[in-house]
Each structure stands twice: as structure tokens, then as C-alpha cells.
Structure 1
Amino acid sequence: MGKLSTHVLDTMHGRPAQGVQVELYRIDGASRTCLKTVETNADGRCDAPLLGADDIKSGTYELVFHAGDYFASQGVKVPEPRFVDQVVIRFGIANPAENYHVPLVVTPWTYATYRGS
């Protein structure tokens, strides 16, 4: 059975991003429902899958990473408003039997993601 997971890498400092708030939403048309709010651990990961085998369903989801708050907590001085603040990644789960890993690689000025395994 599949699962959804994530992790955050702080490439400005070259380390996992501990303490990033991550929100998971399910999107149904115009409806947006928050399923979970978590914080990354010392390895930049969540302690458990965001969606496990019993919860994962096909559909559209969003992850919201509070990257700006994380960098502020690290003492990074950036102009206001922040260039990268909340990173929103909207993605689809087509086959809930597969693993979906959606990592974020981030600095205060850029970010990237990909589908991992």
C-alpha cells in the first residue's frame, strides 16, 4: 500500500530544515480541506507519513511549507515582504497503491521539488 511523505532541505546552510511547519490539504473542486499540520524533525522529515495506506486516496493535494518563518527562525535577514515565504506545491495522486514523496529544496530566494520514491 502507498503513502505520502515529504522532507525539507535547507540548501542555504547545507542541512536538513528542522522546525518547518507543513500543512497538507485535499483539494476537491473549489473546496480546500486541511488534513494535517506537522513540523519537520532534526532530519528535515516528518515523524510519520502524511498519509498512510489507510488514508491515501487518488486526487489533488497541496503541501504548504512555511519556509519564510523557518529562515527567520534561523536568523536569516531578508527584505519584507519575503521573496520566498509560504511554498505551495499542488500535486496529484493518481495511484494510491504507490509511494509519493514530495521533497522541498529551499533557500530564501529559490525552491525546487520533484517526485521521489
Structure 2
Amino acid sequence: MSDDLYDGVPIGFLPIDVVHVPDPTHLRRSLRYPGAVDIAPEHAVQAALDPRRLVARDPGSRTREAIRIVGRSRGMGRVLIVVVVPEDHPPTGVWRVATAWPADRRTRAIYMERA
């Protein structure tokens, strides 16, 4: 999705080997947005580790540390947007999920076209 550098590494080549969810409360979007779909931690991890995933900087990140992953969760049967932050700098491949939500139609189309 982007040729931007992250700690000197092209975004598309960042190591993303382990993804964990330290605080699943952030995946319970219905607590903040009535009617929103909640994402199970395992579904966010599946989408983040999708071998066909698309990776870009998260435009909403105030710290510029977060990246946005578009990937498919087989267990949920949906394409998700997962925002993750690295455990270390430079990234060693271990990431924490900050939040996730179902991809909109446009993002799903991009995923299907590029993935």
C-alpha cells in the first residue's frame, strides 16, 4: 500500500511475525460506537497475519508508530483493518493490536485487487 519507510524499513517489508492483543477492550467497538461490530482477538490476529495482507502507515496515528494492516480473518469470514504498534524499535516482528474493525467496501475491493 505504501513505499514509505518505517525506522528505515520499507513499510511493505516490515517483519510482522507475532501479533498479540494485550487489551481486548479496544476491540469491543460497540462500547464506543453503538451498533459497531466487535472483533474477537483471534480474528484480529488472523487478519494481521494474513499472508496476503496489505500494510501502510496508520493515517490516524498521532505518534506515527502505528501501522494499518488490511487482511482477511478466516474465522470471521471478513476482511478487517487492524491497527498495530511495534513492541520494539526498530521493529523486530512482534506487534500489539491497538484496534480493529471490518473493512468498508472500498477497502475490501482494494484488498481483493491487490492481495
TM-score calculated relative to the size of structure 2? 0.35
Give the strand-richer structure, 1 or 2.
1
Give the helix-richer structure, 1 or 2.
2
TM-score calculated relative to the size of structure 1? 0.35
- Computing the radius of gyration over CA atoms, which structure comes out larger, 1 or 2? 1
